[in-house]
Chain A
Amino acid sequence: MREEIIISGRMNKGVDPILHAWGWEIAVYLFLGGLAAGLLIYAGFYAIRNKEKNFFTALKIAPMFVPFFLIVGLMALFIDLHHKLYFWRLYTTIHLNSPMSWGAWTLLVITPLSIIYAVLNLKTVFPQFNFSNKYIQYLSFTIEKTEDKTINWNWKFKWMRDLETFLNKKKLILMWALLIYGIILGIYTGILLSAFNARPFWNTSVLGMLFLVSGLSTAAAFIMLISKDHEEIKWFSKIDLAMIGIELFLIIHMFMGFLASTQVQIEAARMFLGGQYTFVFWGMVVFMGLLLPALLEIMELRGYKINHRFAAVLILLGGFILRFVIVYAGQSSRYLY
């Protein structure tokens, strides 16, 4: 018999009895970050390949949501900080060894870039908004009024017009930047967790790829959800199917790695193979969030009448739960005793 107890009593909040330093905030941030990354990658990729005509939603409408997703994600992250007034310390240094540090810098670049891209698209996405709408009226500070009360998106100030022309000229560079930073952001959310060698369940390099692919899959689902163009929906549901396939492979790959590794990682895997996370993971993430929507998408592509929005919502939900499960399970896996 062997028994180990802390006889001096230790109940540090957030650490004992089971580590709980991160909660829903981090899961929400990882999900939104992945989704935003996926949307930017598609926008960048298809813009560079000149597919503006074919993928209007992916290139113009979906990127409008990205700044919103990123800002909500950053707010969740900020809520999670315990020493909030010092958050600017993130930007007084850069530590390449710390994923959180270069992640913070990546976000500092990608958030403004995504806002710029969204603003450049205003003209195309909302060509005829009614000025009488009371919210839009606030815009008249920067936009010239028109006779017929629709928006012309003609900026009042010359420097704004110049800036717009300049940015439109450099759009190709912008798209490359969005593509590259999107990939970095997508992988970063996984690397953030995999860099913690103290938490065996996170400590696998598969996680970076898994989060990137899951981000791409949820982004495709989001585009399917808001698009009205049948060809576009069809194309993105095909992409989504491919991503689901890769994701399933990565999940199996990850568990094979765990089971062939050290005792702590075998135990981490056991939480999912009969342990406390078995149902949420295999039932809700893998079946409900991957297999079922994949099946629905295949049936739809084969010509059955199924509403594609149903599959899209399931994928978004599955991606969301995946982040939760991984954030929580990682903290229950440990080296100690």
Chain B
Amino acid sequence: MRYAMAIDTLKCVGCSDCVVACQTENNVPIGYCRDWVVEVTEGTYPQLALENRSERCCHCENAACVRCCPTGASHKEEGGIVVVTHEKCIGCAACIQSCPYDARYTHPDGYVDKCTFCLHRVNEGLKPACVSVCPTKCMYFGDLDNPESEISKVLKNRKWKLLIPEAGTDPKLYFLV
């Protein structure tokens, strides 16, 4: 099993509902966020191209954060979801330094925090909060190893890109273009 997420940049309107849903679902402390929306504008008026991307931890296959963590607090759960065990984390920030996507932050309680792909929901067969709340249904979540899964199909039929794959972490957050 290899969980991944795909975001349709052509459908996303940048409403940031995913950000709020995550903050509510995961009790993210005020002033912090685990996901965020980037808007890219290209061209000159009236010839403008717009791309909206909902971004978060990419749950990298070759996760630099897991490699650099001295205690094993950052680790991979089944399905390749990268999570931090709070009781093992010493708050050294090595993982923050090693993430090319700046997807992590130090929680005010001291441990390091980030997107978990809503592991607690996934374990119950639900989709991550951001995916299930998106009003344009532009996000897909599922198992890459299952050819019948929604995400496998959409990645087969659409053009997609990865963010800074040259950083070498083999990210699993796909952007449909």
Contacts and interface: CB of A to CB of B under 8 A. Distances in A.
Contacts of A195: 67-68, 98
B135 interface: no
Given A80-B92, A99-B68, A14 B98 contact: no
Given A3-B41, A101-B71, A83 B167 contact: no
Nearest to B35: A8
A100 B94 contact: yes
A11 interface: yes
A95 interface: yes
A197 B168 contact: yes
B84 to A, nearest CB: 10
Interface stretch (A85-93, A246-254, A313-321): A85-93
B99 A198 contact: yes
Contact of B37 (A6, A93, A196): A6
Interface stretch (A38-46, A121-129, A205-213, A328-336): A328-336
B46 interface: no
A82 interface: yes
Interface in B48-71: 52, 64, 67-71
Interface in B84-139: 86-94, 96-102, 104-106, 109-112
Contact of A98 (B33, B67, B87, B99): B67
B32 A12 contact: yes
A82 B91 contact: yes
A62 to B, nearest CB: 30
Nearest to A103: B70
Contacts of A12: 31-33, 102, 105
B65 to A, nearest CB: 9
B97 A13 contact: no
Classify chain A's interface size.
Answer: 35 or more
Contacts of A22: 93, 97
Interface residues of B, number: 53
Contacts of A90: 70-71, 90
A104 B71 CA distance: 10
Given A7-B14, A90-B71, A197-B100, A83 B166 contact: no
Contact of A21 (B52, B72, B106): B106
Interface string A297-318: 0000000000000000000000
A101 B67 CA distance: 10
A249 to B, nearest CB: 27
B31 A2 contact: no
Given A13-B32, A21-B106, A198-B98, A101 B90 contact: no
A336 B101 contact: yes
Given A2-B41, A80-B93, 19 more contacts: A1-B43, A4-B38, A5-B38, A5-B39, A6-B36, A6-B39, A8-B16, A8-B19, A22-B97, A81-B91, A82-B110, A92-B71, A95-B72, A99-B68, A196-B98, A197-B168, A198-B64, A198-B98, A335-B100
18 contacts: A1-B42, A3-B41, A7-B14, A8-B33, A12-B31, A12-B105, A13-B105, A14-B96, A81-B91, A82-B92, A83-B86, A86-B88, A98-B68, A98-B69, A101-B70, A101-B71, A195-B67, A336-B102
Interface of A: 1-16, 19, 21-22, 80-84, 86-87, 89-90, 92-93, 95, 97-101, 103-104, 195-199, 262, 330-331, 334-337
